[in-house]
Structure 1
Amino acid sequence: MITIEDCIGLSDLREDEILALAEHEHIPEIAAAALGAYLLHQKHGAERIRAMIEDDIRAANARGDQMHAAELFMALRHFMYDHRDALESGE
């Protein structure tokens, strides 16, 4: 049987990044892992993932959840380090 850890390992994303996608899209973690893996292989897909994590950060800040916003910011930092193509052209 394939586990969520297997899916995370195959996605080329970290668990915190997948959790951010799941939160943003309101989907289970396993679906978020599949979505993330799919997006990473699409043109501008990494930029879309970055935008989703940024949306999550803004939502956490808007509801006053600074602790969660900080966790999401760290996920964004890891994502940007691992996926430099997430920068929009010209930045």
Structure 2
Amino acid sequence: MLSMQDVIDYCDLDRGEIEAIAEHEHVPMAVAAEISEILLCSPEGVCQLHTMIIENMQRALEVGQQQRVLDLIRTYEHLQRTHPLPTRH
């Protein structure tokens, strides 16, 4: 049986990014890991992933979850480095 860490290690995202998908989509981490693989297959999916994390930050700000906002900022910074928004040509 695979552990959650095995699933995360298989993905091209880190734990924080997968947690952000799970939070946004209201799904378990294992399902979020599967979703992450689909999102990373296209420029549109990468854009959706960026949007999910930004929307999570907005919700955390609205309810005053300052620590969650800071965690999501670090997650988003990592996402920007590893999977930047696609550029138009």
TM-score, normalized by length of structure 1?
Answer: 0.90
1:67 matched to 2:67? The reply is: yes
Question: Unpaired runs of 5+ in structure 2?
Answer: none
Q: Is 1:34 aligned with 2:34?
A: yes
Whole-Å Cα distance in 1 between the matches of residues 7 and 38 of structure 2?
A: 12
In structure 2, the residue matched to 1:3 is: 3
Q: Report how far residue 10 of structure 1 moved.
A: 1.4
Q: Is 1:89 paired with 2:84?
A: no
Report how many residues are paired.
88
Residue deviations 1:19-59 (CA, integer Å, cap 9, x gap): 01100000000100110111101241111000000000000
For the residues of structure 1 that align with 2:4 and 2:28, how far apart are their CA atoms?
10
**In the alignment, is the contact (CA less than 8 A) between 2:57 and 2:69 conserved in 1?**
yes
Deviation at 1:61, TM superposition (A): 0.1
The two structures have a TM-score, normalised by structure 2, of 0.92
Cα distance between partner residues in 1 of 2:25 and 2:51: 12
**CA–CA separation in structure 1 for the residues paired with 2:86 and 2:67:** 27
Runs of 4 or more, structure 1, over 4 Å off, are none
